A = this chain, B = another copy of it.
Amino acid sequence: MITYNPKDWFTFIFRFHKADTLRQLAPLIIGICAYCWIIAYLELNVFKLSKSSHITNITSMHSLLSFVISMLLVFRTNTAYDRWWEGRKLWGSLVNNSRNLAIKLHSMLGVEDEVHRSFFKKIIPMYASVLSHHLHAESTRLALDEQEQPELRNLDTNRHIPNQVASLLIQRVNRLFEEGKIKGEQLIILNNELQSFTDICGACERIKNTPIPFSYSVFLKKFIFFYVMTLPFSFVISLGYIAIPVVAFIFYVLASLELVAEEIEDPFGGDENDLPMNKMAQNIKKHVTEILG
């Protein structure tokens, strides 16, 4: 994730960061310009179409559809943002629950009980760390794929690591209860945090392995493609060669929205905008150590 100051307009407008869609789209924009130039050359210099040609009125199609495409793309970006923000919230809960669990155990365990303290000091932050690895793995993304994945068969035999860590934590707390080191009411109090780990893991897996429905995604891409490809037909007649930057700019806007959506809809990947899970796992480690130390 890139931390930035949203009020610094100058840098935003005149610098081209690696994660800037303008930089990523540059080759395609050049392609669109070339395509547009060809259409313009054909219509204006070869066929010499005039403003009374039927083809000028294709604009009315683009006007009618401009609402749909705008709304679809804006909603697409918003849905992707919701997934990204949900991912952030889940990791936020992981931070909170790790801290709360540490604080509660700190108050329940005896000051001298070094054995258990060092166990929890190690295992609580370990959950965030293994979850981070788990979510980066390709096998997690394909967990719901019904096709055979021969190259993943070996990996599949591995057990689910976050479950094992959660199991370790819950077993230890349960043993403390059975040995009488913590009372029943304290067990009830610790339960919320303990069960939240697996809930968070499952919710992150859901975001990771369930993209938006295939038909929707494929429709949107075909729509953008046809929409932009037919734009120059009428624009070159009314705008002449000025149509080239105009179509390029419209393409930049529409494609950027789709691109931003693609980047943020899976917040657990390695893109520039994805969540800094390693950093968060480190922060959890730091705080839990501080509390239980």
Contacts and interface: CB of A to CB of B under 8 A. Distances in A.
Interface string A12-40: 11000101111000000000000000000
Counting every copy of the chain, the complex holds: 5
A211 B144 contact: no
Contact of A276 (B58, B67, B144): B144
Contact of A108 (B57, B96, B174): B174
Contacts of A62: 64
A226 interface: yes
Contact of A81 (B68, B213, B218, B263): B213
Contact of A221 (B1, B12, B75, B88): B12
Interface string A244-276: 001001100110110110111100000011001
Interface of A: 1-4, 6-7, 9, 12-13, 17, 19-22, 54-55, 57-68, 70-75, 77-79, 81, 84, 88-89, 92-93, 95-96, 99-100, 103-104, 106-108, 141-147, 159-160, 163, 166-167, 170-171, 173-175, 177, 183-189, 191-193, 195, 198-199, 201-203, 205-206, 209-219, 221-223, 225-226, 230, 235, 238-240, 242, 246, 249-250, 253-254, 256-257, 259-260, 262-265, 272-273, 276, 278-280, 283, 287, 290-291
A20 to B, nearest CB: 5
A263 B213 contact: yes
A99 B163 contact: yes
B211 A6 contact: yes
A185 to B, nearest CB: 4
B58 A146 contact: no
Given A242-B54, A287-B160, A217 B4 contact: yes
B68 A242 contact: no
A34 B218 CA distance: 26
A81 B216 contact: yes
